[in-house]
Structure 1
C-alpha cells in the first residue's frame, strides 16, 4: 500500500486512484496480459472484460493516503462465488494465474509492480523490499 502525501505531489484523490489503476494495467502488460483496462466509476479498479483483476481502495486523511490496490495474483477465486464482488451484479473476478494459465505468485509480481509504480508515478522508491 503506497503511503503518499498527495498535497506534496500535487495530486487530487481521483487522479491518484487513476494512477493506481494505470499502474495495475501496466503490471498486467509487463506480465504478458493484454486487454486490462480501467473503467469509469462505479467500476473502479482494473478489469478484463466483465472480470475484475485489481480492486482499488484508498483512504485519505490530511492528504496522506493509505490502503491502495489489491491485484489478484493466485487468489482462490471460489470465495467470490459466495458474494457480489464490489456490489456490482453481473461482474466477476479473475487473477493473473487464471488469465495466464500458470501460477503467478506475489513474489513474482512484485518486481514488475515496482517497475510499473515507478513509471506511473515518475519516481524512485525509497525501499524496494517487497515486505514493506
Structure 2
C-alpha cells in the first residue's frame, strides 16, 4: 500500500458483537472489490471500532467449548459466537474496545506476523499515551499486550487473500469477572486486567478512541477519514 493511503474509520459505538462482525464483513467485501479494480483514488481499507453492548463469549479456530461448558456460559446471560479468527475462547462485553482493521497486507508489503506485531505496538503506544509505560508485548504464544502476567489486550486475526479481519479487544472498564468462567485465550495461569484497574480510575471506551486512532496513524503510517458506510 502506498504510504499515505487513507484508511476509513467506522465508529459503531455500543452495538451487539454480531453487528460489528457484519460491518466488518462489508468492509472486507469492499476491500476485495477495490483490489479487483486495481489502484483507486478513494480509500480501500477500513478499521471498525465498537463496544460490545452485551456480554458474549467468542472462540476462534482452535475449538468451541463443550456442550456442558457452553450451557453454563449461556446460563450466566452471555451469548456464544464462533469467530473466524485465530485463537481460543475469550470474552467480549461492555467496557471493551473492539478494533477490526481491514487492511490489504499485500499492498502494504506486510507479512502476517509483522502485522500482528504492529497491532501489539499500536496498543503499547496507546498505553504509554495513557501513562502505562509497563505495558508490553511478549513472544509467542503470548500474543497481545500485557501488564505483568495479566493480559490487557487480546489479539486474534484472520487473513484471507491478504485481506485482514478481526483484530484486537482492549479492556477499558470491562467487568473482569466474566473472564473467570473460561481460560482466556487458552492460557492457563495467566490473568486479565483493564486500563481502569491499572490506572486506578474509570477509563471508558470513549476516552480511549482518539488516543487509539492517533497511535493507529503512527504505526500504520496513514491518514484516517471518518466513514458511516463500509462501501462508501
When normalised by structure 2's length, the TM-score is 0.54
Counterpart for residue 204 of structure 2: 105
CA RMSD after TM alignment:
1.4
Note the C-alpha offset of 1:61.
0.8
**Residue 184 of structure 2: aligned partner:** 85
State the partner residue of 1:57: 156
Q: Does the CA contact (< 8 Å) of 1:73 and 1:106 recur in 2? A: yes
Q: How far has the Cα of 1:80 moved from its partner?
A: 1.1
CA distance in 2, matches of 1:128, 1:89: 40
The structure number with the bigger radius of gyration is 2
- Aligned pair count reads 130
Whole-angstrom distance in 1 between the partners of 2:165 and 2:183: 25
With normalisation by structure 1, the TM-score equals 0.94
- Structure 1 portions without partners, runs of 5+: none
1:6 and 1:12 in contact (8 A); partners too: yes
Structure 2 partner of 1:119? 218
- Comparing 66-75 with 79-88, greater Cα deviation is found at 79-88
Misfit runs of 4+, over 6 Å: none
Which residue number corresponds to residue 134 of structure 2? Answer: 35
Q: Which ranges of structure 2 fall in alignment gaps of 5 or more residues? A: 1-99
Give the equivalent residue in structure 1 for 2:173: 74
